[in-house]
Structure 1
């Protein structure tokens, strides 16, 4: 196998092609270019940190329906499907609430801006994904006045899924793509992929085998910053408009796709003590870490090889 990695979207991006053979450098160059191009397209379509993205045009134009490209339409539909699957626990209309807690730029900029961030009163109405309108025929999207879309819970995972699929299909080789803890694999494998699962990139974790589908880890531990009323993190509870404070601080979920895995890992942080039962009901396997640091395995999640 051959691996390339770099930094983008405030996280590590990793592409691995092949398993029992060394892949030519030219092949890896093409694979990396495929992933970078897709990430750039997604960023231009739905980044809430870019004034020129189509998503921000929709947000700023609310409640009007505005024309969007096929990629934006696909990504918004994926986010709405996640909301429906989780009964609104993963809601893409929390964008205004996330920004009100200080997460209004790249996380590095948020942390560097000042020792604390001022939390502004939230004037936006409660998050409600049902107030997003998608006009498929004319390819237009609109959101209710006062709400703003944020596709952070699904767009990165969708990108990992699609990137792995494109690289594997083009090169006819098993492929793994990881974008900041969102892992997708595609192509026929000769052995399970060894994937490290941990709360933070530097912290202890475990290694498990992944043969197909996607794996995602969502956590309230890593993306944190200080505000004038205390620490905050990026996972906002749609019911309160504030950072989630449930019993689960980190959730790693395996699912048939990375989008599904991230949907349910994010929802687990909102569901808290009911997460295990909900995941089992959905037939999913997961590794949950509670606020005390205890690990709880759900479904057929294996006991992995511990790593520092």
Structure 2
């Protein structure tokens, strides 16, 4: 570890900022960082709903026909189905039409200052995604469209972190994709990573600091992606029970655990369910995680044991 240095690379992909901070030699860094960047660009081109030639756009336009998909697409869709069952449908990848109807039909930087609404869709009678793993095909209902943005962020962070540790033998690093991050450190002679979680209503005060040697953190918020419409403010966290932006009392939830994808889904579900129901669900499904939630009234709630707070 004495021959290493911290190296930082920042770039954009997945419609968000990506940071890779790695403790290694200069030679290692110069070789692996292009691979890290290429990974996120590859994921973006495959899963973006804003690119007309992405694999997800092709699947969403299949009009009820079975489509041969890549191994990565199959893996993420099967993962989405797993989380849909685990959350009793509160996480639901079939909310793209609701997002578009709320105005989020283009990349966020194009709509954040205002947009037009369309009629709010109802959830189709059949919510099934038909997956044939042996044939690597997926069939959506004729009225179905997938949004995989959130789950793909967590999944891509988990995948690249494992690759860096196992293939490149990087024993200390951080990958952060728009707030979905994973850190690791296999050496006890270095300080733990310190991650700051800011109060969304008062960013200059009330910052919580998390101390981790290894683990995952994900934050979901109704404030990060908002836009104006003729009927009021909208945001991107769709409640599948209403097909409208969530109206719970939670405006931001950060979950700390061992898996970035778990944390991403859990934070979103708590935001949608609200403080009372969300706390019960999180403790039942993920009893080993910690969480920090902020409400619209300015209250802060800790779920689990906040032993990671400094």
TM > 0.5:
yes
User: How many equivalent residue pairs?
Assistant: 297
Q: Is the aligned partner of 1:289 residue 2:294?
A: yes
Cα deviation for residue 129 of structure 1 reads 8.5
Distance 1:197 1:54 in 2: 34
Of 266, 278, 286, which aligns to 2:281?
A: 278
Cα deviation for residue 234 of structure 1 reads 0.7
Of 302, 305, 310, which aligns to 1:300?
A: 305
Name the CA shift for 1:233/1:128 in 2 (closer, same or farther; >3 Å).
Answer: farther
Q: How do 1:40-59 and structure 2 match up within 5 A? A: 40-59=41-60
Could you report, residue by residue, the CA deviation over 1:115-154 in whole angstroms, capped at 9, with x for unpaired residues?
Answer: 431110034x416894111111110111112121001221
Alignment-derived partner of residue 115 in structure 2 = 117
| Alignment check: 8 A CA contact 1:161 1:185 kept | no
Distance 1:72 1:2 in 2: 31
Could you report, residue by residue, the CA deviation over 1:258-279 in whole angstroms, capped at 9, with x for unpaired residues?
Answer: 0000010000111113111221
Cα deviation for residue 212 of structure 1 reads 2.5
TM-score by length of 2: 0.89
Alignment-derived partner of residue 244 in structure 2 = 242
Cα deviation for residue 216 of structure 1 reads 0.3
Distance 1:199 1:33 in 2: 34
Question: Runs of 4+ in structure 1 displaced over 6 angstroms?
Answer: none
| Alignment check: 8 A CA contact 2:131 2:138 kept | yes
Alignment-derived partner of residue 230 in structure 1 = 232
Name the CA shift for 1:298/1:141 in 2 (closer, same or farther; >3 Å).
Answer: same
Distance 1:166 1:235 in 2: 30
Q: Secondary structure at the match of 1:253?
A: strand
Distance 1:130 1:234 in 2: 20
Distance 1:129 1:15 in 2: 41
Q: Is the aligned partner of 1:3 residue 2:8?
A: yes
| Alignment check: 8 A CA contact 1:39 1:159 kept | yes
Alignment-derived partner of residue 151 in structure 1 = 148
Q: Secondary structure at the match of 2:228?
A: strand
Cα deviation for residue 65 of structure 1 reads 1.1
Cα deviation for residue 180 of structure 1 reads 0.3
- Structure 1 regions of 5+ residues with no counterpart? none
TM-score by length of 1: 0.90
| Alignment check: 8 A CA contact 1:88 1:128 kept | no
Q: Secondary structure at the match of 1:268?
A: helix
Name the CA shift for 1:33/1:120 in 2 (closer, same or farther; >3 Å).
Answer: same
Alignment-derived partner of residue 258 in structure 1 = 260
| Alignment check: 8 A CA contact 1:91 1:238 kept | yes
Instruction: Compute the RMSD of aligned alpha carbons.
Output: 2.1
Cα deviation for residue 85 of structure 1 reads 1.2
Distance 1:290 1:248 in 2: 4
Q: Secondary structure at the match of 1:239?
A: coil
Could you report, residue by residue, the CA deviation over 1:47-67 in whole angstroms, capped at 9, with x for unpaired residues?
Answer: 111111111111111311101
- Structure 2 regions of 5+ residues with no counterpart? 1-5
